[in-house]
Amino acid sequence: MQKITAAITAVGGYVPEYKLTNAILETMIDTNDEWIRTRTGVEERRILKGEGLATSDMCVPAVLELCKKRGIASEEIDCMIVATVTPDMFFPATANIVCDKIGAVNAWGFDLSAACSGFLFALTTGATMIESGRYKKVVVVGADKMSAIVDYTDRTTCILFGDAAGAVLLEPSADENGIQDSLLKTDGSGRQFLYMKAGGSLNPASHETVDAKEHYIYQAGPQVFKAAVKGMADISYDLLQRNNLTGDDIAWLVPHQANKRIIDATANRMGLSHDKVMLNIQRYGNTTAATIPLCLWEWENQLHKGDKIVLAAFGGGFTWGATLVSWAYDTPTAPAEKGTE
């Protein structure tokens, strides 16, 4: 039997309209634009404003966009995987809610929690489902409403994060292009450096946990930074090595956008010039599971069939990974208007 390869065949994205700029943050906390830009690369981030709006409300336009681009109806989707650490609620899964909102009545779905590596973990899971021959159309979404879990009095974290969603459609490839290889890792001993202290079964929500601000992101920045620089660079390099590739073979690095300095270190280790690195951290900040599909969405019209690209991430957990993709299509029409919807 011929081996089936999973290919990304369409991309969608969504960013909320409201821009939280460094200048606005300067009025809220003791920080300054220069520190934020030089230490992180972020200039502004998008925030989902409005009563009753959640992560699923950003997934919906992203998924509908990719359906439109590919010319498929929601009913054709077999499975929906939503990578997120900010689900609409603990249960049911955000994937269920997205399927309901878009009328994907023939799909089953689930959420996947792997923080900033969530999209890569979900992409590999979805690709495996396609490779099995059992499913024909799997939608993989990376989406986070980080503003729901950010403490806007904590200057060490609130400058970093933003809200967004990105989505890809996976289908059996018509040729040898598609998801080629993935290296994924977890190390739970890193959980103490980046996590939400309360709200789970270990520390259920109580007045005390709310008063202690334990439902926000806690991050030991320098420790995570150290692990991320090494983790993301090493795994990207190892992926190249195991596929007998060098930086010269790679058209684009698509890195998780946590800190420009981490991205630069990864590109250097891979021997990649910086004009081959997708970088939009200045506009959106760290949108956790959304960063990588959001880059694909923005750069889609610059990607060509056969381009080899490396997607790489590092995040809470610790979780990290790199995926090698041979891009499967040339953008058929002019790219959709980017920005707000």
Query: What is the smallest separation between the CB atom of 30 and ligand UT7, expressed in angstroms?
Result: 7
Give CA torsion, residues 335, 336, 338, 341, to 10 deg: -170
Segment contacting ligand UT7 by CB under 6 A, of 56-64, 177-185, 246-254, 313-321:
313-321
Choose, by CB under 6 A, the member of 123, 146, 258, 295 that binds ligand UT7: 258
46, 105 Cβ separation under 8 angstroms: no
What's the token pair of residue 321?
Answer: 């990974």
Nearer to ligand UT7 by Cβ, of 160 and 170: the residue is 160
Longest dimension (CA), the chain: 63
Choice from 190, 315, 317, 321 touching ligand UT7 (CB under 6 A): 315
Distance of CA 337 to the CA centre of its chain: 20
Q: Which stretch binds ligand UT7 (CB under 6 A): 87-95, 176-184, 255-263, 301-309?
A: 255-263
The answer, yes or no, to whether the previous bond of 92 is cis (omega within 30 of 0) is yes
What is the token pair recorded at 74?
A: 């929601």
Exactly one of 14, 119, 225, 252 binds ligand UT7 (CB under 6 A); that residue is 225
CB of 199 to ligand UT7, least distance (A): 19
User: Of the residues 96, 177, 280, 286, which is catalytic?
Assistant: 286
31 binds ligand UT7 (CB under 6 A): yes
Minimum Å gap between C-beta 159 and ligand UT7 is 5
Q: Is residue 19 within a helix (H) or strand (E), and if so which, with residue range?
A: strand 18-21
Q: Which of 167, 190, 165 is nearest to 319 (CA)?
A: 190
Q: Which of residues 113, 156, 209, 331 is near ligand UT7 by CB under 6 A?
A: 156
Residue 222 in contact with ligand UT7, rule: CB under 6 A: yes
Q: Does 101 bind ligand UT7 (CB under 6 A)?
A: no
* Whether 79 is catalytic: no
Residue 88 corresponds to which tokens in the numbers above?
Answer: 């609409």
**CA atoms lying within 13 Å on the CB side of residue 253:** 34
Q: For residue 131, count other CB atoms closer than 10 A to its CB.
A: 18
**Residues ≥6 apart with Cβ < 8 Å to 37:** 22, 43, 282
Q: What is the C-alpha separation between 134 and 136, in angstroms, rounded? A: 7
Judged by beta carbon, residue 121 or residue 327, the one nearer ligand UT7 is 121
To ligand UT7, the closest distance from the beta carbon of 290 in angstroms equals 11
**Interface contacts to ligand UT7, rule CB under 6 A:** 31, 35, 39-40, 116, 155-156, 159, 221-222, 224-225, 228, 258-259, 262, 286, 314-316
